[in-house]
Structure 1
């Protein structure tokens, strides 16, 4: 099995589960709210890899600080974002981040974008 799990349960309202996938891709599954109280947890998780899939499908709220963290991570890593619910989508659209970030409908689609083409794996 390729998956290795690590979960950070933040008492302030954000849980991050990390799954390592083949090709050096790390999937961050976020559950809860990303706001001033939890953005540090997000930033810590975003600093853990060079090829990241950030799954926002179970995030109920995404603050501007969270959007900024995603944009900063996007500037230094290969980042694919899995679309969240209405409130998350509004935050990304209102800030223009939806134009900059690579946003996908599901984890599978995000993984496909970051995975190396067959025969090109190192």
Structure 2
């Protein structure tokens, strides 16, 4: 499943890799583009599921994007699962560090490391 707004500023793709749901984000996640992420997270949520959000392709994330991920984390936890982040870099990593959100989520250097058996 791939969702991309008409303006092309943001895209989200959902896949299953080794039993883990991986959401791959690209572009700018902000007030105008957060809805496709919310919809993808809701559609992909399954009880007890482990989800990894690949943020390596994300150039920008504002407080709306952060809040969407925080709400998703709570929903996933309520369903008995786990939401993890991978590939934080640049201004996105800085925003997560400044807000302390990088301490709320398990954060991996990249998706490959997140999917290693010792991280399940």
* TM-score grouping bracket, smaller chain normalisation: 0.7 to 0.9
2:33 — aligned with what? Answer: 38
Gaps of 5+ in 1: 1-5, 115-122
Q: Are 2:32 and 1:66 equivalent residues in the alignment?
A: no
Moved over 6 A (4+): none
Q: Which runs of 5+ in 2 are unaligned?
A: 77-81
For residue 6 of structure 2, the aligned residue among 2, 11, 23 is 11
- The alignment status of 1:93 with 2:93, answered yes or no, reads no
- How far apart are 1:53 and its partner, in Å? 0.8
Distance in 2 between the 1:41 and 1:52 partners?
A: 16
Cα drift, residue 20 of structure 1:
1.4
Post-superposition offset of 1:106 = 0.7
TM-score (norm 1): 0.81
Q: Would you say how many aligned residue pairs link Structure 1 and Structure 2?
A: 108
Distance between the aligned counterparts of 1:44 and 1:65, measured in 2? Answer: 14
CA distance in 1, matches of 2:98, 2:6: 28
Deviation digits for residues 44-91 of structure 1 (CA, Å, limit 9, x no counterpart) = 122122321100001000011111111111122211101322110111
Q: Distance in 1 between matches of 2:26 and 2:67?
A: 18
Indicate which of 11, 14, 17 corresponds to 1:21: 17
Q: How far apart are 1:35 and its partner, in Å?
A: 0.5
Look up the SS of the partner of 1:37 in the other structure: coil
Alignment TM-score, normalising by the size of structure 2: 0.82
